[in-house]
Structure 1
Amino acid sequence: MKILKIFQYAYIVFAILFLWDAISNWTVDRNRSYMSLFFVALALFMFFFRKRFTKKFQDRNKE
């Protein structure tokens, strides 16, 4: 179960990396920046989805 929590927080790290990529390439290539921002949104969605899924899984095991 601990490995799943590590991967859960890896999505936050990827979101930060893609945000940095989007900001650094904003003036050079806007299309690449938009794609990076899409991946930021996707990574944040996956973080909250996995967090909710993990909580449901733990609550189900407690019963």
Structure 2
Amino acid sequence: MKVYRFTVYLYLIFGLFFVYDTINKYINGDENYILSLVFAVLAIFMFYFRLRSIKKIEERQNNNK
């Protein structure tokens, strides 16, 4: 279960990277900043979704013991 905890935070790191990329592209006037924004929102959503699902799995394992 430790590996799943690590991969959750990779989603957060990618989300923060894409937020930075979105801001950088928007300031420089690049029109493709929307794609980076979509990836940022998706990565942050996946972070919360995976974190919630891991907590549910751990609770289910603790209840079965």
Q: Runs of at least 4 residues of structure 1 off by over 3 A?
A: none
* RMSD value, Cα: 0.9
Give the alignment of 1:43-62 within 5 angstroms. 43-62=43-62
> Larger radius of gyration, structure 1 or 2?
2
Given the two structures, how large is their TM-score scaled by the length of structure 1?
A: 0.90
Number of aligned positions between the proteins: 62
Q: Deviation per CA, 1:11-61, whole angstroms, max 9, x where unpaired?
A: 11001111111111113322x211101111101110000011001100100
* Aligned equivalents of 2:24, 2:56: Cα separation in 1: 38
Using the aligned pairs only, state the percent identity: 37
Q: Which amino acid aligns with 1:24?
A: N
* Aligned equivalents of 1:44, 1:20: Cα separation in 2: 13
Runs of 5+ in structure 2 lacking a partner? Answer: none
Runs of 5+ in structure 1 lacking a partner? Answer: none
